[in-house]
Amino acid sequence: MTLTAVTDADFGTEVLAADRPVLVEFTADWCGPCRMLAPVLAEVAAEESTRLKVVQLDIDTNPETVSRYAVLSAPTLMLFRSGEPVKSMVGARPKRRLLQDLEEYLEPALTGH
């Protein structure tokens, strides 16, 4: 699964107006740790699709959003909820740790009862 790419132009609709929390990876083609993180984020996106949307934003081609959220390094992961950034993390991390870092911000999974 590849992650959805967002841009300065559609950041508002894709991230700020989303109906669930959105994890944005601020990434770049030249960033080694970003490439290491990509399969982890793809797994998280697939497994948590009911609770979380995961997207990528290229820091080199979207300076407006990068400067609005003061992103200084890649990869930066920023979690948005109801249009507001609620958590920011810098650097690659294993899936288990990423899920632990995000857990308190995600809605409980809906069960089929």
Looking up residue 69, the CATH number of its domain turns out to be 3.40.30.10
* Catalytic pick among 3, 31, 52, 92: 31
Residue 109 placed within a domain: no
pLDDT at residue 76 greater than cutoff 80: yes
Calculated CA dihedral for residues 106, 35, 74, 53, nearest 10 degrees: -20
Separation between Cα atoms, residue 52 and residue 49, nearest integer Å: 5
Number of domains in the chain: 1
34 given a catalytic annotation:
yes
**Is residue 93 in a domain?**
yes
Tell me if residue 51 is catalytic: no
Give dist(CA 75, CA 81) in Å, integer.
19
pLDDT at 111: 47
Using one digit for the tens of pLDDT, what is the confidence trace for 5-57? Answer: 999 999 999 999 999 999 999 999 999 999 999 999 999 999 999 999 999 99
- pLDDT score of 90 more than 80: yes
Is residue 59 situated within a structural domain? yes
Q: Which residues partner with 6 through β-bridges?
A: 57
Residue (of 31, 26, 37) closest to 71 by Cα position: 26
Beta strands in the chain (DSSP E): 4-6, 22-27, 53-58, 76-81, 84-90
Which of 6, 15, 23, 34 is an active site residue? Answer: 34
At residue 109, does pLDDT exceed 70?
no
Inter-helix orientation angle 95-103/32-47, to 10°:
60
- DSSP state for residue 102 in the 8-state scheme: H
pTM recorded for the entire structure:
0.92
Domain that holds residue 50: 4-103
